[in-house]
């Protein structure tokens, strides 16, 4: 059983596989990934914390809330000006 697992998960067997490397590189390019990293926008960086990963649902919710607050403030300012 151990030998079978070793054969299945043998990284050395695929580490130098140029076809696999090409597929990985193509996928990373299409998804905006460089060196295994995703470039975050300035808006996304606002929601990063060192304790956990970003939950995309929370980012969308927080962005929507921030946009709503900004609209509300603009509306209030316009009312105060008039």
Domain boundaries, the chain: 2-81
Give every CB contact of residue 70 below 8 A, 6+ residues apart in sequence: none
Confidence grade of residue 67 (pLDDT, cut at 50, 70, 90): confident
- Residue range 8-25, pLDDT digits in tens: 777 666 777 888 888 888
Model pTM above 0.75:
no
| DSSP line for 33-69 | EETTEEPPPHHHHTT-BTTB---HHHHHHHHHHHHHH
């Amino acid at each position: 059983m151990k030998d079978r697992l070793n054969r299945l998960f043998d990284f050395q067997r695929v580490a130098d596989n140029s076809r696999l490397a090409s597929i990985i590189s193509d996928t990373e390019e299409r998804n905006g990934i460089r060196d295994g990293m995703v470039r975050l926008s300035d808006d996304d960086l606002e929601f990063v914390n060192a304790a956990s990963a970003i939950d995309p649902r929370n980012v969308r919710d927080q962005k929507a809330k921030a946009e709503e607050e900004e609209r509300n403030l603009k509306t209030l300012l316009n009312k105060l000006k008039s």
